[in-house]
Amino acid sequence: MARMKFLCDAERCIECNGCVTACKQEHEVPWGVNRRRVVTLNDGVPGEKSISVACMHCSDAPCMAVCPVDCFYKTSEGVVLHDKDLCIGCGYCFYACPFGAPQFPQDGAFGLRGKMDKCTFCAGGPETDFSAAEFRKYGRNRLAEGKLPACAEMCSTKALLGGDGDVIADIYRNRVLKRGKGSEVWGWGTAYGKPEKQPAAQPGAKS
């Protein structure tokens, strides 16, 4: 099996925030922490594009490189996870991450920065699988149940794909080849079918 990856199709994402809601609900993520969010470019302008962003489980993860306590590890499936018992909440990973994935819940009476929280690719963490401690710290372990991340599986338009990098790349490639480009993707042609071809005018015939 190849590495686990997310892929978001900007042509399909309708900014419904279903992925964000699915993630929040699945892992009971506390208020103020967003493991996943939808980013819209040129919002309000015709042709705006949205993508769903979370931890991209980088092959060469910068968060792993900068962590002073080495609390990050990578599973055999390429999922970047961390040990919350070791995390000191310094925030270096937040500065290093190009996607703004690491989140820091407000903890304590004075809003102190708590231990880092991020997308786990629904793979839990370094606690006993399906235990209460794992759920409390990292959320549900869907991968150990043979399932894929809730956000990708919940996506209504299938804009967000998650899973084996090779398989989702094939799905995306097949999709792009079938749907074409430009107005073939969305708009009048897609909604009402392709315009019928007009028969070629005969030479000399009255128009």
| 55 vs 67, beta carbon nearer another protein | 67
Of 34 and 118, which has the nearer Cβ to another protein?
118
Per the CB < 8 A criterion, the answer to whether 17 and 38 are in contact is yes
Q: Of 95, 93, 50, whose CA–CA distance to 72 is shortest? A: 93
Return the number of the residue (106 or 157) whose C-beta is nearest another protein: 157
* Site for another protein, residues 178 to 197, rule: CB under 8 A: 178
One-letter identity of residue 69: V
Question: If binding is defined by CB under 8 A, does position 51 make contact with another protein?
Answer: no
Judge whether 80 and 72 are in contact, CB under 8 Å. Answer: yes
Q: Is 72 in the site for another protein (CB under 8 A)?
A: yes
Q: How many CA atoms lie within 13 A of 170 on its CB side?
A: 6
Q: Which of residues 107-126 bind another protein (CB under 8 A)?
A: 123, 125-126
54, 61, 67, 97: which one contacts another protein (CB under 8 A)? 67
- Beta-carbon count within 10 A of 130 CB: 12
Residue of the chain from 145, 184, 186, 188 that contacts another protein (CB under 8 A): 145
What are the residues whose beta carbons fall under 8 Å from the beta carbon of 13, sequence distance 6 or more?
38, 49, 50, 51, 52, 157, 159, 160
Residues near another protein, by CB under 8 A: 1, 64-65, 67, 69-73, 75-77, 81-83, 85-86, 123, 125-130, 141, 143-148, 152-153, 158, 161-164, 167-168, 171, 174-175, 178
